[in-house]
Chain A
Amino acid sequence: NAGVTQTPKFRVLKTGQSMTLLCAQDMNHEYMYWYRQDPGMGLRLIHYSVGEGTTAKGEVPDGYNVSRLKKQNFLLGLESAAPSQTSVYFCASKPGQYFSNYGYTFGSGTRLTVV
């Protein structure tokens, strides 16, 4: 099925460990996004990319890094995980800057717990 695929779906990390979340889309979308969603806070933008090889900071970028080496993949890295990074992470994509009658296509999320 076409769409946005996130791996893994669940992960438990110890404080200080590192990990990479993978987002893959097969719709040839230019723009890709990483959000975190916390109770009462809504969706907050971490980083985004407007095309292969580009990345930009969002609202809450500290403690995260990203890479977009291939158009279809957008990776989110945590170099040294902290309990404050416990959250549900969503990846999203869209075709271009403005043209999108449906906004974003979202993945199903990664639930990360840092202990």
Chain B
Amino acid sequence: EDQVTQSPEALRLQEGESSSLNCSYTVSGLRGLFWYRQDPGKGPEFLFTLYSAGEEKEKERLKATLTKKESFLHITAPKPEDSATYLCAVQTYYGGSQGNLIFGKGTKLSVKP
């Protein structure tokens, strides 16, 4: 069964304290892996798409990387405005899901000044 697991469930950082969020997946035929940011009371907002192992994408203080089994979202010198829930999702080529995304449960990040 296709599965996406995110860890940790919650992460508290001090401003400037770099860290990483993990997304591990077990799927048959990965087409793409997506990272989203979700602020309280809002819908998820797209951050990155990764397609193949070794690929990296960057945006401001965030960098996403992908291996054959997991993805990391690295946060360098975070600021309080980076506080949010970060969601990981995968899309597979196979199965009857019509290419639907399979979501992890998210990591809630809190950055204190």
Contact = CB atoms under 8 A, between A and B. Distances in A.
Contacts of B34: 102-103
Interface residues of A, number: 25
Contacts, number: 55
B99 A104 contact: no
A88 to B, nearest CB: 9
Contacts of A31: 98
Given A107-B43, A108-B43, A43 B103 contact: yes
B103 A109 contact: no
A45 B46 contact: no
Given A48-B100, A50-B98, A43 B87 contact: yes
Interface centre among A41, A48, A50, A106 (most CB of B within 10 A): A106
Interface of B: 31-32, 34, 36, 41-46, 49, 87, 89, 91, 93, 98-101, 103-106
